Amino acid sequence: MTQKTALVCGAGGFIGYHLVERYKKEGYWVRGVDIKKPEFSPSTADEFILADLRYPDQAKKALSLNGMVFDEVAQLAANMGGVGFINSNHDAEIMHDSALINLSMAEACRQAKAKKVLYTSSACVYPERNQLDPNNPRCSEDSAYPAAPDTEYGWEKLYSERLYLTYGKEYKMNVKVVRLHNIYGPECTWKGGREKAPAALCRKVAEAVEGGTIEIWGKGDQTRSFLDVDECVDGLRRIMMADHPLPALNLGSEEMISINDLALLIIRISGKKLTLKNIAGPEGVRGRNSNNTLIQKELNWQPSKKLEDGMRKLYPWIEKQVRQ
């Protein structure tokens, strides 16, 4: 096959869906793999395999390509969700499922002699002690150790980063590790318990009656930064295509905002008159922001879009889902 080939694991999920689209636009032959198909729009993958990647034989099948080798493997499959999911009694299943997926995938990639393997880790690997002040979080790549993530989800990500990096070193695999910081955009999970803050807030605003209130978990002064999925996919492609070895890299935005201010921004976009009601709920760390110094230096990458521009795309998409 002269056409380049890519395997996207987790292609039934939010970022995987968009990554498949991007590969197709670039002319790749793409196989998507997941335990489910995308929920909202059909995948554009050339082939979509339903497989449970926790099992080594299914990971092996995902990598098998008529005696050929995938040019690129993007491993995004994980048992994951937003703060309401990873902070409330799903730790054992998250650690069990995602560790098994990564153990099976790393070994299947080694056996298949995959040319390049990208693993999506998370900002959740960073130690809680550096994220106690909402206005001054520290999330540079070199601050990950001594390790002390605040969630078991973060510990599993850290373990799996080490797994892929060790496979890279000992088996001479070309491995790339990226730490994503809160990605948002159309096609994301927006209800059911796994949704992340931007989608949850858009849903609450879309469902609220004029003059009503929306509930915000915590005091709302906790801070985060959010990256538009198109910019995320752009960064993932740059990382995958880099021809020099890369350390684990942050991929996020440095435009930090409090959760209350994010809610107010969405309300403004909706055109409704609503007030915020802060209630007890899972909040995660007090503050988190991407630090893009290293990715800027290594790949000259920075997001170009403002949060408001991205939210102006997300809100109408969720509003439409709510109305359907």
Site for ligand NAD in 87-126 (CB under 6 A): 97, 101, 120, 122
Q: Which stretch binds ligand NAD (CB under 6 A): 177-185, 207-215, 257-265, 301-309?
A: 177-185
Question: Taking CB under 6 A as the rule, does residue 12 contact ligand NAD?
Answer: yes
CB of 72 to ligand NAD, least distance (A): 16
Closest of 186, 191, 197, 194 to residue 260, by C-alpha: 197
Question: Taking CB under 6 A as the rule, does residue 202 contact ligand NAD?
Answer: no
Closest of 49, 46, 65 to residue 109, by C-alpha: 65
Residue 135: which residues within 8 A CB-CB, separation 6 or more? 223, 287
What does the alpha-carbon distance between residue 102 and residue 119 come to, in Å, rounded to a whole number? Answer: 9
CB of 180 to ligand NAD, least distance (A): 3
Question: Taking CB under 6 A as the rule, does residue 85 contact ligand NAD?
Answer: no
Select the residue interacting with ligand NAD from 20, 22, 34, 201 (CB under 6 A): 34
Assess whether 28 carries a catalytic annotation. no
Closer residue to ligand NAD (CB): 34 or 150:
34
For residue 195, how far is the Cα from the chain centroid?
12
Question: Taking CB under 6 A as the rule, does residue 54 contact ligand NAD?
Answer: yes
Q: How many amino acids of this chain bind ligand NAD (CB under 6 A)?
A: 26
What does the alpha-carbon distance between residue 228 and residue 157 come to, in Å, rounded to a whole number? Answer: 21
Select the residue interacting with ligand NAD from 6, 7, 13, 195 (CB under 6 A): 13
What does the alpha-carbon distance between residue 259 and residue 218 come to, in Å, rounded to a whole number? Answer: 9
Question: Is residue 256 within 8 Å of residue 316, measured between CB atoms?
Answer: no
What does the alpha-carbon distance between residue 123 and residue 111 come to, in Å, rounded to a whole number? Answer: 29
CB of 229 to ligand NAD, least distance (A): 8
Q: What are the DSSP calls for 111-152, one per residue? A: HHT-SEEEEEEEGGGS-GGGGSSTT-----GGGS-S---SSH
Site for ligand NAD in 59-78 (CB under 6 A): 76-78
Cα angle value 28/33/38 (rounded, 5°): 95
Closer residue to ligand NAD (CB): 97 or 150:
97
Backbone angles phi, psi at 299, to 5 degrees: -130, 5
Of 28, 119, 153, 164, catalytic: 153
Closest of 183, 136, 199, 173 to residue 17, by C-alpha: 183
CB of 122 to ligand NAD, least distance (A): 4
CB of 271 to ligand NAD, least distance (A): 27
Question: Taking CB under 6 A as the rule, does residue 52 contact ligand NAD?
Answer: yes
Select the residue interacting with ligand NAD from 6, 7, 8, 15 (CB under 6 A): 15
Question: Taking CB under 6 A as the rule, does residue 8 contact ligand NAD?
Answer: no
Question: Is residue 290 within 8 Å of residue 253, measured between CB atoms?
Answer: yes
Residue type for 224, please?
A: R
Catalytic residues, which ones?
A: 153
Q: Site residues (CB under 6 A) for ligand NAD?
A: 10, 12-16, 34-36, 52-54, 76-80, 97, 101, 120, 122, 180, 182-183, 189, 196
